[in-house]
Amino acid sequence: MNGAAQNLIYAWDFDPSIVIGCIALLAAYAVAHRGDFAHAGWFVAGVVAMFLALVSPLDPLSDTYLFSAHMLQHLILVLIVPPLLLLGLSPRFVRAVLRVPALARIERMLGNAVVAWTIGMAMLWLWHAPYLYNATLADEGVHIFEHVCFLVSATIFWWPILAPVEEVRLAPMPAIIYLVTGALTNSILAILLTFARPGLYPAYLSPDDPLKILPMIRDSWGLTPALDQQLGGLLMWVPGGMVFLGAIVWVIARWYSTPEATVRVAPAN
């Protein structure tokens, strides 16, 4: 394979903060769950997804070259990682946490459906405002802050749907509404990005080329800045929407497979 492709494939960046962060996350999980590892597979998958999104060649592609790559990275951080992490928590652990009054209070506040939905959606929209987005590309500190914001706000967003404990989850029908309205709001932002004039985020118009892969991107891949921006919007729109659909199907499947107690009906005579 040619040199540019090789450069890309080998462009892994094992940033110490990310490596340590992921190890710490796994360690914290192991300690907190103390042998209760029935759901550990999900959690590990979530950490692996986050790790790969942040250290694989996807990262330099996102940071420097392509809006669409950056979108893919963010979609993983917002739509894949938090659900996996939440599914990985054991009900026993969560119940234990909720027995602490201060933590239960926080859960009631942030886990409220309207609050969680608004936090999730607002964070999504906010960070795509050109002023803020461009700042993340210019300053690594802001960028890290953005990623932390995404991970935290997305976890809050997914909590009412995927929390391991039924009592704090939304009932199935409100959950479906929550997800449908979330998907629609996500779609509107995606539509704006797809149809925006190219150059919404000027850094992608003529990026620096430390990996010497720009000709490959522009010529072999055919990704002009305009197409790249459109692709980013489309990724958020269609595959992003599909994740919401998957969540809806999950909620319905869970709902219909839970047995229902009989409802006492007064005899007619």
Contact call for residue 243 and another protein (CB under 8 A): no
Is residue 132 involved in binding another protein (CB under 8 A)? Answer: no
Measured CA to CA, the distance from residue 157 to residue 178 in angstroms comes to: 10
**211 lies in the binding site for another protein (CB under 8 A):** no
In the list 194, 201, 204, 217, the residue contacting another protein (rule: CB under 8 A) is 194
Which H, E and C letters describe the chain, residue by residue? CCHHHHHHHCCCCCCHHHHHHHHHHHHHHHHHHCCCCCCHHHHHHHHHHHHHHHHCCHHHHHHHHCHHHHHHHHHHHHHHHHHHHHHHCCHHHHHHHHCCHHHHHHHHHHCCHHHHHHHHHHHHHHCCCHHHHHHHHHCHHHHHHHHHHHHHHHHHHHHHHHCCCHHHCCCHHHHHHHHHHHHHHHHHHHHHHHHCCCCCCHHHCCCCCCCCCHHHHHHHCCCCHHHHHHHHHHHHHHHHHHHHHHHHHHHHHHHHHCCCCCCCCCCCC
User: Nearest approach, Cβ of 267 to another protein (angstroms)?
Assistant: 7
CB of 188 to another protein, least distance (A): 7
- Measured from the CB atom, the residue of 98 and 161 that comes closer to another protein is 161
Does 248 engage in binding with another protein (CB under 8 A)? yes
How many residues bind another protein (CB under 8 A)? The answer is 40
183 near another protein, judged by CB under 8 A: yes
- Residue among 6 and 224 whose Cβ is closer to another protein: 224
245 contributes a contact to another protein by CB under 8 A: yes
Q: How far is the CB of 238 from another protein (least distance, A)?
A: 5
Least spacing, CB of residue 191 vs another protein, in Å: 8
Q: Does 114 bind another protein (CB under 8 A)?
A: no
CA 116, CA 182: separation in Å to the nearest integer? Answer: 11
Q: Is 255 in the site for another protein (CB under 8 A)?
A: yes
Shortest distance (Å) from residue 81 CB to another protein: 23
Instruction: Give, as ranges, the residues between 134 and 173 that touch another protein (CB under 8 A).
Output: 173
Interface residue with another protein among 26, 49, 196, 203 (CB under 8 A) is 196
Nearer to another protein, 2 or 262 (CB): 262
The nearest distance, CB 151 to another protein, in angstroms, is: 26
CA distance 77 to 150: 7
Q: Out of 84, 195, 204, 216, name the contact with another protein by CB under 8 A.
A: 195
